[in-house]
Structure 1
Amino acid sequence: MSALSGDPYGHSAEKSRYLSAPRRPDFTLDQDWGSYSAAEHDRWDRLFARAREVLKGRACDPFLTALNTLQLSETGIPELEKLSARLKLITGWQIVPVAELVPDDIFFDHLSHRRFPAGAFIRPEHEMDYLQEPDIFHDVFGHVPLLADPVYADFMQAYGEGGRRALDLGRLKNLARLHWYTVEFGLLKGANGLRIFGAGILSSATESVFALEDPSPNRIGFDLERVMRTNYVIDDFQQTYFVIDSFEKLLEDSYRDFGPLYARLGDASDIAAHDITETDRVINRGTRAYFNNKPKAASAVQ
């Protein structure tokens, strides 16, 4: 749960009680599981039931398998300490509760040591369908299951290790785009068609359908340099989704020295979120119908 160079979110009442809680130098705090209300546990249960139904035939197999392995289907908001104990036995990862988006250097340090920072608060009732800030449902339901996949777990650790160098070289913008278009909004080419693995899609019932089935967005084969040049919008459905061939290939592409790539990107122009380039491996060329029919308004582009 990192700002990755910007925190555009406000503070809900649910979040505010954690903002005043004691925190450690690494921004972690105690979950205080007993403080969740019955209404908050019910909110988790409704979000979970809806997402699990929508994701049948849409989420990638490793995610669906891990939901059962990690026992995320238990009633109510998970106790992160118990969930961490189960996850650590599988891939060595832990979940550490935080109150808000943590500084980028802290975030990368956690990932590089196989610790995933998860927001301890749950979204308010009026944000059930559109979430303005990452909460425990997004972070735990969306992100944590795939940390039980050994290859994906290695990719996330490698990403954390690469983050510290990106900060030193002033290339965080490019690395953040890799995170956005894979970890948050990535699609996977499966035996039965495209499947979802990005947490931002998995934790959104509406975008789970849109990302796979709506004709509006582009769906393009993953290319690391192309992704690192591509802008994204943070307050709407994605205009382009990138499709990886496998977690093994994603790790292979990402586990290398980015120095020469960053040097090339220094002179390269950014690519708009909706653009298709001549070298793209186009899986679906979007109609843009959804985006063209929306009222014109300022969007937050990163």
Structure 2
Amino acid sequence: MDKQLTHVHDTPPPGAAPDWTIPQNWEAFTADEHAMWDRLFARQAEMLPGRASEAFLRGIDVLRLEKPGIPDYRDLNARLKEASGWEVVAVPGLVPDDVFFDHLANRRFPAGNFIRTPEQLDYLQEPDVFHDVFGHVPMLADPVFADYMVAYGKGGLRALKFDALKQLARLYWYTVEFGLIREHGALRIYGAGIVSSYAESVFALESDSPNRIGFDLARVMRTDYRIDDFQQNYFVIDSLDQLLKLTVETDFAPIYAANAMLPPISIADILPEDEVITRGTQDYATAKA
């Protein structure tokens, strides 16, 4: 196991329920941990207007995330449940796939109950409370996206029966984590992996390096991604309604079967049938390689 992944357990650790939830124990967070949240929040809040989607920015306001310190779920969940019926639950770290899907299917978002250190300010390999709450939860205040996440959770439980978890993981990666959306003739961010990262918030929209491609469900579920650096592809949806409609109305089983007969699509590949919004230079990835 990667030594950087310190919040990974094989079974629920002591104090965790069978569904891996734990008390948030908000009072136990230190002043330094609250200060880290405030530092991260201030940095993102300054640069996301004009870059983040309307739904994300609206969620920040609805949930009052601008209040200082790590949010207390007792307050946060009261507002979130009113907006979309969702709640945030604390977990010790990464949870098994079936547990994760079950939480989503039942309108519960599991959030890691720890925050990065100053040494991890710009990169953390595992999701902490800032990534999970600041990055994900504002979008869950949007009823359409909230319903998409429920559908994804239910689809995830079904995917386990089809041995199609990798395909569904790609969909999550390229939408929930690293998705872009068209708004008023421009591209905006809605993916949590981007909005919670200062550097990638700029890179995803302004760099000449990555490809930006119109969203296609089957294509996305064949496309590999990278977990160690900025993405080389970003997929662009036209609206949150498009995303929900595709997920609710599509029978994924035939797509799983068809994709299983084809090779995965390599990172940064462009296909003849792609709607290419931006053909990237890939200079960033090439230089890093």
Same fold per superposition (TM over 0.5) = yes
SS of alignment partner, residue 109 of structure 2: strand
Structure 2: which amino acid aligns with 1:72? L
Matched-pair identity in %: 57
Q: Which runs of 5+ in 1 are unaligned?
A: 1-5, 297-302
SS of alignment partner, residue 109 of structure 1: helix
Which residue in the other structure is 2:264 paired with?
270
Tell me the CA shift for residue 266 of structure 1: 1.5
Tell me the CA shift for residue 36 of structure 1: 0.8
Identify which of 143, 151, 161 aligns with 2:136. Answer: 143
Identify which of 45, 52, 71 aligns with 2:64. Answer: 71
CA contact (8 A) 1:91 1:149 kept: yes
Tell me the CA shift for residue 246 of structure 1: 0.4
CA contact (8 A) 1:81 1:95 kept: no
Whole-angstrom CA distance in 2 between matches of 1:7 and 1:175: 24
Describe the shift of the 1:164–1:7 C-alpha distance in structure 2 as closer, same or farther (beyond 3 A). Answer: farther
Identify which of 231, 242, 259 aligns with 1:249. Answer: 242
Structure 2: which amino acid aligns with 1:58? R
Structure 2: which amino acid aligns with 1:290? Y
Task: State the superposition RMSD in angstroms.
Answer: 1.6
SS of alignment partner, residue 84 of structure 1: helix
Whole-angstrom CA distance in 2 between matches of 1:112 and 1:271: 29
SS of alignment partner, residue 279 of structure 1: coil
Tell me the CA shift for residue 81 of structure 1: 2.3
State the aligned residue count. Answer: 286
Matched, 1:230 2:223: yes
Which residue in the other structure is 1:289 paired with?
283
Which residue in the other structure is 2:154 paired with?
161
Whole-angstrom CA distance in 2 between matches of 1:234 and 1:43: 24
Whole-angstrom CA distance in 2 between matches of 1:267 and 1:20: 39
Normalising by structure 2, what TM-score? Answer: 0.96
The C-alpha deviation readout for 1:35-67, integer Å capped at 9, x for no partner, is 111111000001000001111100001111110
Whole-angstrom CA distance in 2 between matches of 1:173 and 1:30: 31
Describe the shift of the 1:225–1:7 C-alpha distance in structure 2 as closer, same or farther (beyond 3 A). Answer: farther
Structure 2: which amino acid aligns with 1:51? Q
Which residue in the other structure is 1:27 paired with?
20
Pairing of 1:163-202 with structure 2 (within 5 A) = 163-202=156-195
SS of alignment partner, residue 135 of structure 2: helix
Q: Which runs of 5+ in 2 are unaligned?
A: none
SS of alignment partner, residue 293 of structure 1: helix
Describe the shift of the 1:169–1:274 C-alpha distance in structure 2 as closer, same or farther (beyond 3 A). Answer: same
Describe the shift of the 1:7–1:30 C-alpha distance in structure 2 as closer, same or farther (beyond 3 A). Answer: farther
The C-alpha deviation readout for 1:45-92, integer Å capped at 9, x for no partner, is 010000011111000011111101101000000001221111001110
The C-alpha deviation readout for 1:160-205, integer Å capped at 9, x for no partner, is 0000111011000000000000000000011040000000000000
Structure 2: which amino acid aligns with 1:26? D
Tell me the CA shift for residue 268 of structure 1: 1.1
CA contact (8 A) 1:7 1:101 kept: no
Describe the shift of the 1:85–1:43 C-alpha distance in structure 2 as closer, same or farther (beyond 3 A). Answer: same
Whole-angstrom CA distance in 1 between matches of 2:6 and 2:93: 9
Identify which of 104, 126, 130 aligns with 2:123. Answer: 130
